Chains A and B, each alone.
Chain A
Amino acid sequence: MVSDVLAGADPDASDSPPVLELHGELEEFSRAAPLDVTLRLAREIVTDPTYPTVRAWTRSGRSAVGCFPVYTPQELLHSIGLLPVALHGGGENVEISHADAALGSFLCSISKSTLELALTARLAPFRGFVFPYICDVSRNLEGIFARVLPETPTYMLHLPQNFRSGATVRFLVSEYRRLAERLERAGARPYAPGPLAASIELFNAQRSRIAELAARRRAHPGQISLAESYLLRRLGGLLPREIHVPLLDRVLAELSERPVRSRDAIRVALVGPFCEQPSLDLIDLLEQVGCEVVDDELLPLYGWYGRIDPSGDPLEALARAYVESPVDIGVRAAPSTKGGAILDRVEAANAQGVIFLTAKFCEPALEDIVLYRKALDRERIPYLHLEFEERSTSYEQARLQLETFVESILFD
């Protein structure tokens, strides 16, 4: 597929950032460092499409597996000796010149840039890939990966959509077993309940720290910006969790020392970016124009469930946690009605309005919005819909619309 000629040429000579090299033991993240240093490093890692943390990790022969959003049983992958790494597309630094041909034009950026990274060997450090069935694009992407990277095992994980059936948990357990078997080729150990129980506890710890971070932001929005907390969360999908958990502990401790700024802004719920992520600039822009994001769907990976009790059959506990999760986003069949769900969220977050920020061509998001809108209209809650793409440098249109939205709430 990649013609040799093209693969040889530097795909993006002019605008790719310098490739970041990290210590094999990722010491950069294990040492105590001031928050801004950590954040600066996080920013570099998140915008480097060559996965520096994964390269560092695999240098000593360990395996990492790339997981497409939005949900993968990371606990399971961890327990069989793999580092689960969140794939989040290429961001603004990856130019698409190969992937378009395979995928077609009317698709979201994350699918294209993820494939582009594969076609330009930037995913080479990964030993396997998991594509959960969150939408038709992610599902089909697995089939393309299987062809273009025939040596690397890939798995299309069928995440169930019938949350009421008595048979769903059993089926999901069989899916997980199949996934684990499939990844043996990626260097995984066979599945065993003991290690899974331990891994579940590690991820319990990670989730609780991230929940704490969110709680702090809600209580003192000025203490940590949306982009900062987002970066810390992104790191959580890129670093070994054994490193991320103590890092978050240090951050939380330092945060308490930060002064609390207060500012005049409107409170909004941010709905839609559950899969492809908006750029850091766009996230910053939300705050710049005067929005305080009090509830968001960014990186839902950490929010599927709270604590899982691994005593008993841990694999079943893991499957059950997914099936019984209260998460209601575009890629899960709605447990109740979409309209009701959005109103509940607005109320719970005490938001003044909703910003729908959806990836261009992301059909699941686009379809939900209509139902959400109807409910918001009924209750006269203002909302704004913006679409984003990975590779955009100019946010003039977005700024214009965001400002109008803020002005329409602020001015009488």
Chain B
Amino acid sequence: MTHPGEEVEDGPTSAREQQRRLVEEYYADLADAGGPRKPVAYMLVGGNLTEIVRSFGYEVVFPEIVALNCAIKHESLPNILHAEAQGYGLDVCGYVKNDLGLQELGGKTPFGRIPPPDLLVCSFSGCYVYIKWWEALAEKYGCPLFVLDVPYMRDERPRSEEIEYVVAQLNEFIALLERTTGRSFDRGELRRMLAHSRKAEEGWVRYLSAGRRRPSPIEAYFEAVFYMFPINVLRGTAAAADFYDTVDAEVTARVRAGEYPVPEEKVRLVVEGVPPYPSYRTFWDFFRRWGAVSVAATYPKVGGLFDQGFLHDPDRPLESIAEYSMAAYVNQSWGLRRRLIASYAKEFEADAVVIHGIKSCRSFTAGQGDLRDWLIHEQGIPTLYLESDHEDPRYFAPAQIKNRMDAFFESLDRRRSTVSLPMVGA
């Protein structure tokens, strides 16, 4: 079956090409297990400790990203079914099921094989499922598991006792790494990596803030998802830092040439929630048909709320890592999350908010209905709530979703001018 979205062009491509290359190289490196390979650490995106483990010579695998790569390539279902056959219920997070299914099936992904972990780092930063997932991996592989307990973010800025707690754990983590690798901690190396991270983060923030322009030269949800790979997976490397220069150049070129992700920008959106990866193109296409472009989104912030000032700082290595970990998007209390979304809507001059709920992700989703209610009734922002899954193609009902989107955009259109507006053609 071809999805209508499949034929749609990705838009300007040089950064996309570079990103594709980075993805391929990364997986090729991982798969290259011929000789003595680098040790591998499995990590979670939210509040991750990439720089620290990289400074000890580890390569990093993010099962969440592997899972979304599988889903977007329509290869998640067999993994999910395999996990279900082992007893994982229908309601368990699709990322978990994809990963554990895939591990049982030998680690095959659309890009290459994933090596098993030598170290498991569970940054408990925003999702309780992380703990369960890493427990299952630890039980399967029997390798060391480090749980970094990251306090939930309940104030605008982390409190000093929270930072102290996380930093104390980071020091214990470093001691663990020294013991397991036999290497001693190289503070200079960590600083160099954090400097690369800092540069990448600043570039990423610049890219995302381009959505403020009218029309927006970027697609802050669908396109940004492609550009998230370096900031999440390759952080700490020069390649990641340089990538955002390419992105920068491209955005500038687009503005100059008047090339926009949606040729005629009709609706500016803030999008909240994890994308429906198995139907990514179809979903994106539903938006494009209405001339809707996301100018800001929360999902690209799962790796870190860099735009809110939580950047890595080579001069305060562990403290800045601790702050960064606490500020992971899903580790924000609902009060903070709500305010952030409303501020995006205001600052990026959005017409509406679209929330995509994930049936199997409670961390993101539980309470999105209340968010919707708050946006509509207390902020006066039209808001659409849609629901499917980030991994499981069985939960995407295209007709239903399209019907809701059509109705929503119809009503937005009509509310802006109650007279003549084009009807949707068949």
A137-B87 in contact given A167-B164, A171-B151 (Cβ < 8 Å) = no
Minimum CB–CB distance from B58 to chain A (whole Å) comes to: 20
Nearest chain B residue, comparing its CB with the CB of A133: B152
B359–A373 contact, CB under 8 A? no
Q: Is B186 an interface residue (CB 8 A)?
A: no
B359–A106 contact, CB under 8 A? yes
Stretch touching chain A among B130-138, B263-271, B285-293: B130-138
Q: Is B168 an interface residue (CB 8 A)?
A: yes
Minimum CB–CB distance from A408 to chain B (whole Å) comes to: 18
Q: How many residues of B contact A (CB 8 A)?
A: 52
Minimum CB–CB distance from A375 to chain B (whole Å) comes to: 9
Report whether over half of chain A's contact residues are helix, strand or loop; otherwise say mixed: helix
Q: Is B149 an interface residue (CB 8 A)?
A: yes
Q: How far is the CA of A147 from the CA of B373 in the complex (A)?
A: 11
B116-160 interface code vs A (CB 8 A; 1 in, 0 out): 000000001001110111011011000000011101101000000
B360–A106 contact, CB under 8 A? yes
Question: Which B residues are CB-close (under 8 A) to A338?
Answer: 135, 139
Q: Is B226 an interface residue (CB 8 A)?
A: no
Stretch touching chain A among B71-79, B234-242, B361-369: B361-369
Best-buried of A1, A133, A148, A171 by chain B (most CB within 10 Å): A171
Minimum CB–CB distance from A107 to chain B (whole Å) comes to: 6
B168–A166 contact, CB under 8 A? yes
Question: Which A residues are CB-close (under 8 A) to B367?
Answer: 102-104, 140-141, 143-144
B128–A364 contact, CB under 8 A? yes
Q: Is B7 an interface residue (CB 8 A)?
A: no
Q: Is A392 an interface residue (CB 8 A)?
A: no
Q: How far is the CA of A42 from the CA of B366 in the complex (A)?
A: 33
A104–B151 contact, CB under 8 A? no
8 Å CB contact of B96 from A144, A367, A369: A367
Q: Is A136 an interface residue (CB 8 A)?
A: yes
A140-B124 in contact given A165-B149, A166-B172 (Cβ < 8 Å) = no
Stretch touching chain B among A153-161, A187-195, A275-283, A311-319: A153-161
Best-buried of B132, B162, B360 by chain A (most CB within 10 Å): B132
A139-B152 in contact given A146-B334, A174-B161, A370-B88 (Cβ < 8 Å) = yes
B139–A162 contact, CB under 8 A? no
B88–A367 contact, CB under 8 A? yes
Question: From residue 337 to 367 of chain A, which have CB atoms closer than 8 A to chain B?
Answer: 337-339, 360-361, 363-364, 366-367
Question: Which A residues are CB-close (under 8 A) to B368?
Answer: 104
Minimum CB–CB distance from A365 to chain B (whole Å) comes to: 9
A1–B373 contact, CB under 8 A? yes
Question: Which B residues are CB-close (under 8 A) to A160?
Answer: 149
A103-B88 in contact given A136-B362, A139-B152, A367-B133 (Cβ < 8 Å) = no
A165-B172 in contact given A333-B147, A337-B139, A338-B139 (Cβ < 8 Å) = yes
8 Å CB contact of A363 from B132, B136, B337: B132
Q: Is B106 an interface residue (CB 8 A)?
A: no
A339–B139 contact, CB under 8 A? yes
Question: Which A residues are CB-close (under 8 A) to B165?
Answer: 165, 167-168, 170-171, 174
B68-107 interface code vs A (CB 8 A; 1 in, 0 out): 0000000000000000001111011100100000000000
Q: Is B333 an interface residue (CB 8 A)?
A: yes
8 Å CB contact of A366 from B92, B135, B377: B92
B362–A135 contact, CB under 8 A? yes
B365–A104 contact, CB under 8 A? yes
Q: Is A252 an interface residue (CB 8 A)?
A: no
A161–B370 contact, CB under 8 A? no
Q: Is B314 an interface residue (CB 8 A)?
A: no
B132–A364 contact, CB under 8 A? yes
Q: Is A64 an interface residue (CB 8 A)?
A: no
Q: How far is the CA of A373 from the CA of B87 in the complex (A)?
A: 8
A147–B334 contact, CB under 8 A? yes
Q: How far is the CA of A140 from the CA of B367 in the complex (A)?
A: 6
A163-191 interface code vs B (CB 8 A; 1 in, 0 out): 01111101100110000000000000000
8 Å CB contact of B362 from A1, A147, A148, A363: A363
Minimum CB–CB distance from B370 to chain A (whole Å) comes to: 4
Minimum CB–CB distance from A2 to chain B (whole Å) comes to: 11
Question: Which B residues are CB-close (under 8 A) to A137?
Answer: 362, 366
Question: Which B residues are CB-close (under 8 A) to A370?
Answer: 86-88, 136
B370–A147 contact, CB under 8 A? yes
A367-B91 in contact given A106-B359, A106-B360, A165-B168 (Cβ < 8 Å) = no
A367-B370 in contact given A137-B362, A146-B335, A339-B139 (Cβ < 8 Å) = no
Question: Which B residues are CB-close (under 8 A) to A146?
Answer: 334-335
Q: How far is the CA of A126 from the CA of B124 in the complex (A)?
A: 31
Nearest chain B residue, comparing its CB with the CB of A337: B139
Q: How far is the CA of A75 from the CA of B403 in the complex (A)?
A: 53
A141-B366 in contact given A161-B124, A366-B92 (Cβ < 8 Å) = yes
Best-buried of B86, B88, B169, B377 by chain A (most CB within 10 Å): B169
Q: Is B357 an interface residue (CB 8 A)?
A: yes
Q: Is B26 an interface residue (CB 8 A)?
A: no
B88–A102 contact, CB under 8 A? no
Nearest chain A residue, comparing its CB with the CB of B83: A370
Nearest chain A residue, comparing its CB with the CB of B134: A333
Nearest chain B residue, comparing its CB with the CB of A361: B91
Nearest chain A residue, comparing its CB with the CB of B364: A136
Question: Which B residues are CB-close (under 8 A) to A167?
Answer: 164-165, 168-169, 172
Q: Is A321 an interface residue (CB 8 A)?
A: no
B149–A162 contact, CB under 8 A? yes
Q: Is B280 an interface residue (CB 8 A)?
A: no
Question: Which B residues are CB-close (under 8 A) to A175?
Answer: 151
Q: Is A331 an interface residue (CB 8 A)?
A: yes
Q: Is A327 an interface residue (CB 8 A)?
A: no
Question: Which A residues are CB-close (under 8 A) to B136?
Answer: 367, 370-371
Q: Is A9 an interface residue (CB 8 A)?
A: no
Nearest chain B residue, comparing its CB with the CB of A171: B165
A162–B148 contact, CB under 8 A? yes
Q: Is A368 an interface residue (CB 8 A)?
A: yes
Question: From residue 163 to 187 of chain B, which have CB atoms closer than 8 A to chain A?
Answer: 164-165, 168-169, 172
Minimum CB–CB distance from A387 to chain B (whole Å) comes to: 8
Q: Is A101 an interface residue (CB 8 A)?
A: yes
8 Å CB contact of A156 from B154, B162, B357, B360: B154
Question: Which A residues are CB-close (under 8 A) to B92?
Answer: 363, 366-367
Q: Is A334 an interface residue (CB 8 A)?
A: yes
Cβ contacts A to B, 25 pairs, < 8 Å: A100-B369, A101-B369, A103-B370, A104-B357, A104-B367, A105-B359, A106-B359, A107-B366, A142-B333, A143-B335, A143-B337, A156-B333, A162-B147, A167-B164, A168-B149, A171-B161, A171-B164, A334-B135, A363-B91, A363-B128, A366-B91, A367-B133, A367-B135, A370-B88, A374-B86
Interface residues in chain B, defined as those with a beta carbon under 8 Å from any beta carbon in chain A: 86-89, 91-93, 96, 124, 127-129, 131-133, 135-136, 138-139, 147-149, 151-152, 154, 161-162, 164-165, 168-169, 172, 333-335, 337-338, 357, 359-360, 362-363, 365-370, 373-374, 377, 387
- Per CB-CB distance, the 7 closest pairs between chain A and chain B, nearest first, are A143-B334, A167-B168, A162-B149, A102-B370, A367-B132, A136-B363, A171-B165
A162-B149, A165-B149, A367-B133 given; 16 more Cβ-contact pairs under 8 Å: A100-B369, A107-B362, A136-B362, A141-B367, A143-B333, A143-B335, A144-B367, A147-B370, A158-B151, A161-B149, A174-B165, A333-B131, A339-B139, A364-B132, A370-B86, A371-B136
